[in-house]
Structure formats: structure tokens, C-alpha cells
């Protein structure tokens, strides 16, 4: 069954929505840790998200922007805010639709099914997944995955950003400043030490799929991909 994720800090509303949606043969995950919405999202890989605006710590607009960095899955805002500008901001920050509380659950279901049809069903555009291939190495930035021969490994968003830069720049050097800016999100400045830690993690990910010494340090400049692997031809 396809999975829907609910991000709503009022647990009574979240559980009410969940029980109603499950009647239509969807799996539902209710986010519980509002500091780690992206961790939950990447873990459950939902097909659609119902997202409140007023949340602890960061608001729904912020989380929608983070989701849009890694996914194009439909996002429907559900909020008690009734202002026109709130609806404008929801759409401008990546949302696909907006439902005002109090809501009719049947209208929520109709909008869920409509978005599902447009994203994955009969109305969906036939979009091919983006993949970068280099000597048998397959990199899937949209699913955060690196694959070589019969081995694969899952990546974090930062690891994905670094590998994408290295592949796109190959055989040129990816500059440290360019990588720092790519890792820098809306809220947190990324320093040199953070980049070093993530480069080490990227090297470990290559090793997990049997590739050694794939990332070369260019002193004072940045990093360059080294093609140390070759796909075995059948």
C-alpha cells in the first residue's frame, strides 16, 4: 500500500486523519519528533504529505522547503490559518494544495486522491528518474543512492550533494567553497570541519560498494573524483 505522512502537532487531529485515510487502504505515518521531520521523511519515503504550518521549532513552510530539496512528492498544507497570504506562502514554499481547518475528511480524501493521480497515476507526466553514470557507477540523486555492480548504499542529503558535485565536475576539481555553499542550508552555516567530516563519510560510502580511493584531495583547492573502478564487462 502507498504511504502518507502526517505532520501535525495536534495528535487528536493527526489520529483522526490517520484513521480516516487508512479506510481507503493507505498506510499512514504520523510524525512524532518535530525536530527530525526530514529523518522521518527519508525513513518512510511517503507518496504524499499532509503538513501543518504551525509546528514546534520550525514551521511547515521550512519543512516543505527541506522536502523539496530531495523530493517532488505532493505536499498538502492543512492549517487553521485562513489568510490569503498564508495560502500564497504555502504554494510559494513548494506546497501543492491548501486545506483550511476545520475540514471535511471526505474533501481531504478527494484532494489526496487527486494529487496521487497527478503525481503517479493517469495524469502523471512521464518523467524519467535522473541518474548519473560513470564507468558502471550509478548515482541516483533523487533516491539518495549510490550503486556499483551488485552493491548499493544509501546516502544522506549532504553526501548526495558532494557526490553530485564531484561527478558533474569530473575530471575537474570541485572547489572547497563551492562544496561549502552546496552544503549550507537555510539555517546553519557549514564550516570547513563539517566539510572534512562529510568528505570522509563520502569516501566510506564508496568503500561500502567496493571502490577505494575515489576522492582525491587537491591541497588548497578542493577535491576531485578518481576513476579507480571499472565495470566488469559480461
* Strand pairing category for 3-7 and 48-51: parallel
pLDDT at 232 over 60: no
Residues 6+ apart with CB under 8 A from 48: 2, 4, 5, 73, 74, 75, 76, 112, 115, 116, 119
Distance CA 78, CA 131 (A): 34
Quick: pLDDT tens for 149-206: 889 999 988 899 999 999 999 999 999 998 988 887 655 677 888 899 999 999 999 9
| Residues 72 and 47: beta-carbon distance below 8 Å | no
Q: pLDDT over 70 for what percent of the chain?
A: 94
Long-range contacts of the stretch 160-164 (C-beta < 8 A, 24+) = 160/70, 162/198, 162/199, 162/202, 163/139, 163/202, 163/205, 164/132, 164/139
Quick: pLDDT tens for 26-75: 999 999 999 999 989 988 889 999 999 999 989 999 999 988 877 889 99
Instruction: State the average pLDDT for the chain.
Output: 89
pLDDT at 129 over 90: no
In the three-class reduction of DSSP (H, G, I as helix; E, B as strand; rest coil), residue 21 is classed as helix
Percentages (nearest 5) of helix, strand, coil residues in the chain: 40, 20, 40
Quick: pLDDT tens for 1-38: 789 999 999 999 999 999 999 999 999 999 999 999 99
| pLDDT band per the 50, 70, 90 thresholds, residue 89 | very high
Residues 6+ apart with CB under 8 A from 109: 20, 21, 24
Q: Which of 76-85, 108-117, 127-136 shows the lowest mean pLDDT across its residues?
A: 127-136
| Residues 17 and 5: beta-carbon distance below 8 Å | no
**Using alpha carbons only, what angle is made at residue 46 by residues 40 and 50, rounded to the nearest 5 degrees?**
85
pLDDT at 70: 77
pLDDT at 234: 45
Amino acid at each position: 500500500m502507498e504511504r502518507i505522512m502526517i505532520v501535525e502537532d495536534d495528535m487528536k487531529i493527526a489520529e483522526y486523519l490517520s484513521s480516516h485515510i487508512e479506510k481507503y487502504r493507505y498506510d499512514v505515518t504520523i510524525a512524532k519528533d518535530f525536530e527530525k521531520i526530514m529523518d522521518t521523511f527519508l525513513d518512510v519515503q511517503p507518496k504524499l504529505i499532509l503538513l501543518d504550518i504551525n509546528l514546534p521549532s520550525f514551521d511547515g513552510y521550512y519543512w516543505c522547503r527541506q522536502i523539496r530539496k530531495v523530493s517532488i512528492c505532493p505536499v498538502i498544507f492543512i492549517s487553521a490559518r485562513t489568510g490569503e497570504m498564508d495560502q500564497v506562502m504555502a504554494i510559494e514554499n513548494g506546497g501543492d494544495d491548501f486545506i483550511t481547518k476545520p475540514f471535511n475528511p471526505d474533501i481531504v480524501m478527494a484532494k489526496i486522491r487527486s494529487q496521487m493521480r497527478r503525481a503517479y497515476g493517469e495524469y502523471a507526466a512521464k518523467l524519467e528518474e535522473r541518474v548519473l553514470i560513470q564507468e558502471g557507477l550509478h548515482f541516483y540523486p533523487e533516491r539518495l543512492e549510490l550503486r556499483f555492480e551488485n552493491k548499493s548504499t544509501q546516502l544522506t542529503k549532504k553526501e548526495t550533494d558532494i557526490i553530485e558535485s564531484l561527478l558533474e565536475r569530473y575530471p575537474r576539481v570541485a572547489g572547497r567553497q563551492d562544496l561549502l555553499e552546496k552544503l549550507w542550508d537555510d539555517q546553519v552555516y557549514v564550516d570547513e570541519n563539517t566539510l572534512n567530516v562529510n568528505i570522509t563519510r563520502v569516501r566510506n560510502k564508496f568503500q561500502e560498494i567496493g571502490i577505494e580511493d575515489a576522492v582525491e584531495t587537491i591541497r588548497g583547492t578542493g577535491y576531485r573524483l578518481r576513476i579507480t573502478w571499472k565495470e566488469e564487462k559480461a
